[in-house]
Amino acid sequence: MAQIFKSPAAYVQGRDVAEEIGSHAEELGEEAVLIADEIVLDILEDRVLTSLEDAGLGTMSVEFNGEASETEIDRITSLAEEQGIDLVIGAGGGKALDTAKAVRTNIDESMVSMPTVASTDAPTSALSVIYSEHGEFQEYRFYEDHPDLVLVDTAIIADAPTRFFRSGIADGLATWFEADAANQSDGDNVVGGKPTRAGHHLARLCYDTLCDHGLAAVDAVERGAVTESVEAVTEANTLLSGLGFESGGLAAAHSIHNGLTQLEATHDATHGEKVNIGTISQLALEGRDDAFIEEYVEFSLDLGLPVTLSDIGLDDPSHNDLTVVAEAACDEEETIHNQPFAVSSSMVRDALLTADELSRRVRENR
């Protein structure tokens, strides 16, 4: 199988770039729809629509209801078709962007992805995660096309709750461990090929950037400040993590995340928070040295990320609960099979338990 690397055509990041969207998007279409939830519309609707109109585009906006579900995608697709939309602009977190990507694919037109939080690596990718209306993971949907433009306003990112920023760091840290596992196993990446050197190394650059700048960036965002560290971590969380996971490949951490979404109690934890439990469990599953896992847990705690099952809502999970998680994580479609060894659901359940106990010990000894 061939090595494949894919990416969006353009990436623009900086303070106040939302006000320049018209100049970056004017070639992409004539009738634009902005898809965002109520809070995000409040933050940027005026600025974005004005900039687009100044560039000669027709505009409308649609309020997103909060879940990237089939029903919501169909509803917005019909509205876009009725209005002759040829440019879909998704703004917000992962679910708004994933919905916009699905709508864009249904109408087969251009797309701008505008994350307002640096919480996941969804903005740059050509896939959506589809959930049920009740928030359970249902499927990955893969598309031919990437967003034409990813536009990230770091002033908006730094203004968002720090929890989202921390979550994006967790998602970005996982990218390296997963891409490296996929590389070792000669597994498939997410764009239908084998990883390129570029995909693998971008994942490593993501990890190094987060280790170098993560803590200072969290401190800055805590105060709503945009610093070079915030720029570095925003790029890592968004661009490097996005390209790294898609072209580098996923492995156990995201499969364990998907398994965790099966339990209602985890639904208040963000994507990145659940991914962090997946990462620590992946490290345990791989049999990494105690010192290495402990260091990762320490760094997570410094960043304010969850490290134990109870941190993500699972106080005293039953044997059966963990079996449900582990079996879902080992579904034959799951990326956990990109680990460079055969993985069974009992191994995953035991890794979850071990990672939980080790993390608890690290926290107690601080």
- Please give the sequence-ordered ranges of beta strands (E in DSSP) within 21-136, or none if there are none: 31-36, 58-63, 87-92, 110-115, 127-131
Cβ closest to Zn ion, residue 213 vs residue 254 = 254
Tell me, yes or no, if 271 is annotated catalytic.
yes
- Amino acid found at 339: Q
**Annotated catalytic residue, options 86, 180, 257, 356:** 257
Binding site for Zn ion (CB under 5 A): 171
| 6 annotated as belonging to a binding site for a ligand | no
Quote the least distance from Cβ 21 to Zn ion, whole Å. 25
| 337 annotated as belonging to a binding site for a ligand | no
Cβ closest to Zn ion, residue 98 vs residue 171 = 171
C-alpha distances in Å from residue 160, one per residue of 166, 213, 226: 11, 18, 12
Quote the least distance from Cβ 274 to Zn ion, whole Å. 9
| 97 annotated as belonging to a binding site for a ligand | yes
Tell me, yes or no, if 350 is annotated catalytic.
no
Angle at 347 between CA 172 and CA 247, to 5 degrees: 30
Quote the least distance from Cβ 251 to Zn ion, whole Å. 12
Q: 230 near 154, Cβ under 8 Å? A: yes
Residue 23 CA, chain-centre distance (Å), reads 27
What's the rounded Cα separation, in Å, for the pair 233 and 308? 24
Cβ closest to Zn ion, residue 73 vs residue 129 = 129
Quote the least distance from Cβ 29 to Zn ion, whole Å. 28
| 271 annotated as belonging to a binding site for a ligand | yes
Residue of minimal Cβ distance to Zn ion: 171
Cβ closest to Zn ion, residue 168 vs residue 313 = 168
Angle at 325 between CA 320 and CA 328, to 5 degrees: 120
Q: 67 near 135, Cβ under 8 Å? A: yes
| 92 annotated as belonging to a binding site for a ligand | no
| 213 annotated as belonging to a binding site for a ligand | no
**Annotated catalytic residue, options 86, 146, 271, 356:** 271
Tell me, yes or no, if 257 is annotated catalytic.
yes
Quote the least distance from Cβ 75 to Zn ion, whole Å. 26
**Annotated catalytic residue, options 86, 148, 153, 171:** 171
Scan for tokens 């304010």, then name that residue: 304
User: Residues 305, 306, 312, 318: what is their CA dihedral angle, to the nearest 10 degrees?
Assistant: 170
Cβ closest to Zn ion, residue 171 vs residue 356 = 171
Q: 42 near 71, Cβ under 8 Å? A: no
Tell me, yes or no, if 146 is annotated catalytic.
no
C-alpha distances in Å from residue 28, one per residue of 10, 54, 71, 192, 311: 12, 15, 27, 26, 43
C-alpha distances in Å from residue 198, one per residue of 101, 142, 231: 25, 21, 21
**Annotated catalytic residue, options 146, 200, 213, 254:** 254
Instruction: Please report, in range form, the residues annotated as the binding site for NAD(+).
Output: 37, 94-98, 116-119, 125, 127, 131
Residues labelled catalytic: 171, 254, 257, 271
Instruction: Please report, in range form, the residues annotated as the binding site for glycerol.
Output: 121, 171, 254, 271
Instruction: Please report, in range form, the residues annotated as the binding site.
Output: 37, 94-98, 116-119, 121, 125, 127, 131, 171, 254, 271
